[in-house]
């Protein structure tokens, strides 16, 4: 672990330990591999014998799309017979990640947190590929966080701009990720199992890098390859409960109001034929990373930096404001014990409710860090809050690391943390603080190619 200040040690822990533990390529290779002696592809506990496979298709979406797709293709390249069966691939990834080259796969540079034209083009390409898949064909889907935006094809009557406007209302209006996806699934032609329905006769295996607490497959990327138990009525209830119904475009309201007469038929198809030939594997998640991190922090090297360590098992949910208050309270509870520098670790995904008129730049973890800086002002404490995908909300940063000196330093340079919080401009605060003081606060990794929620580290 890196020597130096506590902030440096937390940055080192996040970059050198947390992110490798969430490595999408290695996780996918472990979950999906070629077994030469059995001449079969293996996805967790299920085997797909080579003799039963005519063609292989690869589809998917997510911020981890590149490493996951490369892991699948590298597995197929282990045997020329597998390589020859790869009949095409279409995977939607984040922006410039599409410049990567993966044999046999077309990558689409889609966008997040709002879909762009490439999100739609990639969805159409995936549906076109799947329309060719039939019996004795194997479809491998790679799904990870961000897929709800990166893979999109709005329902008839909803233009992309209206879908984007609806999405902005949802992600800033306070609903949980499950509630957000309940609405998005009803407005999409690829979500809620519809991608799987495009190849009803094929064998289908989905490899999932989970960014949803509890690993609810129907919520990850809005569940494009798994059954959907929600209805248009459920979506309307979400919007009304959060007072968002009147804020979304008329085309989205019309789509939800008219309902979906095909819901019953899709449920029957899943029940009678699709479930038997559909297999999903969670290759990595926030819970897996925390479990591995607990073991790593017990090592002698880490113990020298942090003699006392607590890794909280309860996932972080609810509002960012509540999370910071609870975490500060927990840290205060533990801080009285003797024994040297302590580390308290949380994982999960809190939410920020952003007013419609807010124009700032930021995200969950940057907002969390700015709030935490007020809680620990004038103490010897340090907090790091960052997203494992490397992109927090609308900012180019993963998060921030703050200390008890952050607020006094900011105020001495004419910056008001409260004013930036009110404007929901946490990124703007930390960027301006760095500019005026030369002291690093932002955690900048660039897109990491993985997404297993957020990590919050408190040292005291």
Q: Which pLDDT score, from 0 to 100, does residue 3 have?
A: 61
Q: Which pLDDT score, from 0 to 100, does residue 252 have?
A: 98
460 residues of the chain, pLDDT tens digit each:
556 899 999 999 999 999 999 999 999 999 999 999 999 999 999 999 999 999 999 999 999 999 999 999 999 999 999 999 999 999 999 999 999 999 999 999 999 989 999 999 999 999 999 999 999 999 999 999 889 999 999 999 999 999 999 999 998 898 988 899 999 999 999 999 999 999 999 999 999 999 888 899 999 999 999 999 999 999 999 999 999 999 999 999 999 999 998 989 999 999 999 999 999 999 999 999 999 999 999 998 888 899 999 999 999 999 999 999 999 999 999 997 677 799 999 999 999 989 888 989 999 999 999 999 999 999 999 999 999 999 999 999 999 999 999 999 999 999 999 999 999 999 999 999 999 999 999 999 998 988 899 999 999 9
The contacts of residue 34 (CB under 8 Å, 6+ apart) are 40, 41, 42, 75, 76, 78, 79, 82
Q: Which pLDDT score, from 0 to 100, does residue 120 have?
A: 98
Closest-CA residue to 399 (of 22, 18, 11): 11
Q: Which pLDDT score, from 0 to 100, does residue 451 have?
A: 86
Summarised one tens digit per residue, pLDDT across range 358-408 is 989 999 999 999 999 999 999 999 999 999 999 999 999 999 999 999 999
Q: What pTM, to 2 d.p., does this model score? A: 0.81
Q: Which pLDDT score, from 0 to 100, does residue 71 have?
A: 98
Summarised one tens digit per residue, pLDDT across range 247-261 is 999 999 999 999 998
Fold classification of 39-284 is Rossmann fold (3.40.50)
Q: Which pLDDT score, from 0 to 100, does residue 388 have?
A: 94
Spans of all domains in the chain: 6-14+286-459, 39-284
Q: Which pLDDT score, from 0 to 100, does residue 2 have?
A: 54
Homologous superfamily assigned to 6-14+286-459: MOFRL domain (3.40.1480.10)
Q: Which pLDDT score, from 0 to 100, does residue 197 have?
A: 97
């Amino acid at each position: 672990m890196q020597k130096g200040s506590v902030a440096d040690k937390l940055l080192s822990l996040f970059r050198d330990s947390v992110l490798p533990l969430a490595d999408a390529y290695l996780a996918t290779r472990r979950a999906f591999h070629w077994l030469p002696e059995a001449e079969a592809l293996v996805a967790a506990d299920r085997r797909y014998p080579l003799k039963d496979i005519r063609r292989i298709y690869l589809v998917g979406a997510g911020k981890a799309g590149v490493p996951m797709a490369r892991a699948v293709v590298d597995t197929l390249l282990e045997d020329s017979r597998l390589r020859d069966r790869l009949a095409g691939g279409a995977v939607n990834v984040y922006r410039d990640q599409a410049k990567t080259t993966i044999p046999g796969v077309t990558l689409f540079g889609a966008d997040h947190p709002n879909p762009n034209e490439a999100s739609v083009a990639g969805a159409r390409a995936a549906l076109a590929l799947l329309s060719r898949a039939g019996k004795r064909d194997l479809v491998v889907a790679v799904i990870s966080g961000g897929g709800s935006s990166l893979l999109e094809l709005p329902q008839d009557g909803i233009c992309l701009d209206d879908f984007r406007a609806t999405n902005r209302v949802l992600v800033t209006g306070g609903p949980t990720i499950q509630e957000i996806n309940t609405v998005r699934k009803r407005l999409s032609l690829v979500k809620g199992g519809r991608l799987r329905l495009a190849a009803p006769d094929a064998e289908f295996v989905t490899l999932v890098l989970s960014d949803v607490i509890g690993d609810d497959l129907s919520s990850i990327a809005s569940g494009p390859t798994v059954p959907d138990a929600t209805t248009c009525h459920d979506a309307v209830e979400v919007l009304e409960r959060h007072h968002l119904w009147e804020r979304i475009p008329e085309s989205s309201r019309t789509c939800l109001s008219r309902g979906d007469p095909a819901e019953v038929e899709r449920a029957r198809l899943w029940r009678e034929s699709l479930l038997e030939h559909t297999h999903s594997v969670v290759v990595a998640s926030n819970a897996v990373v925390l479990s591995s991190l607990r073991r790593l922090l017990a090592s002698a090297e880490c113990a020298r930096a942090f003699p006392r360590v607590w890794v909280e098992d309860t996932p972080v949910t609810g509002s960012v404001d509540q999370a910071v208050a609870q975490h500060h309270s927990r840290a205060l509870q533990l801080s009285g014990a003797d024994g040297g520098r302590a580390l308290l670790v949380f994982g999960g995904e809190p939410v920020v409710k952003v007013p419609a008129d807010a124009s700032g730049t930021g995200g969950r973890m940057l907002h969390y860090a700015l709030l935490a800086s007020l809680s620990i002002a004038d103490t010897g404490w340090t907090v790091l809050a960052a997203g494992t995908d490397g992109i927090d909300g609308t900012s180019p940063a993963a998060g921030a690391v703050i200390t008890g000196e952050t607020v006094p330093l900011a105020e001495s340079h004419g910056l008001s943390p409260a004013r930036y919080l009110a404007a929901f401009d946490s990124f703007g605060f930390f960027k301006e603080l760095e500019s005026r003081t030369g002291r690093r606060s932002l955690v900048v990794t660039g897109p990491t190619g993985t997404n297993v929620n957020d990590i919050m580290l408190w040292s005291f």
